[in-house]
Amino acid sequence: MKILRNYFLKEFIAPLFLSLAVLTFVMLLGNLIKIADMVINKGVDLFSVSKLFLLMIPYLLTYTLPIAALTAVLLALGRLSSDNEIVAIRASGVNLFSLILPLLIVGVILSLVLVIFNDRVIPYAHYATRKTLVEVGIKNPTAALEPGVFINSFDKYILFVYRIEENKLGNVRIYEPQGEGKPTRTIVARRGEFIALPEKNMIKLKLIDGTSDEPDPENPTNFYKLNFKTYFMTLNLTQTQDKEKLGKKPKDMTIQELINEINKLKKEDIDPNPLITEINEKIALAFSCLIFILVGAPLAIITRRREKSINFAIAFLIVGVYYLLLLGSEALSLQGMMDPEVAMWIPNLALGGLGAILTFRLCVS
């Protein structure tokens, strides 16, 4: 029996690490285009880009590790089943559950590791990414900007830029809301240029050939048009004057920090549902490792498919169903239509229940 258990684990572990490496690499590859664009076209220094690249890895592992566990169990047990090794084991009187149990224990261990990972490492990576983006924004403002969209990263101003090439801007529109009931000040320029002053935590914007709304001295609520050849503005990125005091978002917080924030909101009679949802999502996602193994093991034995393409298709289907359920459950929770402690566990309960039923029927038949 011990030999068979070790054999099952050996067949599972190798595909697990291989799948994890491949999935993580593929997902990182999808971000290489953006990273290359930041270095080549936007002039971001290689150190900052490398830092952002490395900080992506922990976040990706939250998703790639459960998917890798599912893929590994499908590949391992699918091969054993297609080669009739499972039939031979059952014919010798060995209960399949005693052989699947070590895989489930591995799933529990991976899930517990991910709970700690999602609680400690992921929030740190999220927060460090935001701080790095702030540093990049101060050193090279255009790196954080996209042409053709409204940009509200700056205090008091909303920017719309039609074209961005390195630190050069084309067709710039700047809006400065004056408050309710007051007209919005508008500045339009044919060209512009960012001048970064990181040592002063300041960004200067040089505008060329345009018009500016200037307050009427006799009636400050009205504006008159002023044509200019060159116009300088000083811009501040929101919350960048002291990046050490950058406020944390829910995804940047550990579970204990979220609990502390929930208690504060309750004292102020503010609905803490989004934060409760975040806590349950962290834990539920971690236990998807166990759920995927629980549902994947009996499916691999029942389908008896050796082909990797078929197993990948089954894995894709299971993962797709799981994350669609997760998105729907999150929406129900955030809209207050269902208790977060129940809603965020619906995908795990649904697929876990299916896996338990299939495993039971397989082992007693």
In order, the DSSP letters of 281-321 are: HHHHHHTHHHHHHHHHHHHHHHHT---HHHHHHHHHHHHHH
Which tokens go with 163?
Answer: 């074209």
Quickly tell me which residue has 């992506």 as its tokens.
56
Q: Report d(CA 277, CA 340) in Å as an integer.
A: 5
- The answer to whether 164 touches 147, Cβ cutoff 8 Å, is yes
In order, the DSSP letters of 79-96 are: HHHHTTHHHHHHHTT--H
Q: Report d(CA 44, CA 266) in Å as an integer.
A: 43
Strands 168-176 and 158-165: antiparallel
Q: Report d(CA 303, CA 296) in Å as an integer.
A: 10
Q: Give residue 234's pLDDT.
A: 81
Q: Report d(CA 258, CA 274) in Å as an integer.
A: 10
- The answer to whether 340 touches 276, Cβ cutoff 8 Å, is yes
Which tokens go with 280?
Answer: 């349950």
Q: Give residue 239's pLDDT.
A: 46
Quickly tell me which residue has 């197993």 as its tokens.
311
Q: Report d(CA 33, CA 21) in Å as an integer.
A: 20
Quickly tell me which residue has 């799933």 as its tokens.
107
Give the global pTM: 0.76
Positions in the chain whose pLDDT score sits under 70: 1, 37-43, 137-145, 153, 166, 181, 197-202, 217-218, 220-221, 236-246, 305-307, 365
Q: Report d(CA 315, CA 328) in Å as an integer.
A: 20
Domain ranges of the chain: 2-138+248-364, 154-236
11: left (phi over 0), alpha (psi -120 to 50) or beta: alpha
Q: Report d(CA 143, CA 133) in Å as an integer.
A: 9
What mean pLDDT is reported for the chain?
84
Q: Which helix (H) or strand (E) holds 214?
A: strand 202-216
Q: What is the DSSP code (8-state) at residue 147?
A: T
Segment 23-67, tens digit of pLDDT: 999 888 877 777 776 666 666 777 878 888 888 889 899 999 999
Dihedral of the CA atoms 267, 270, 273, 276 (nearest 10)?
A: -30
- The answer to whether 10 touches 77, Cβ cutoff 8 Å, is no
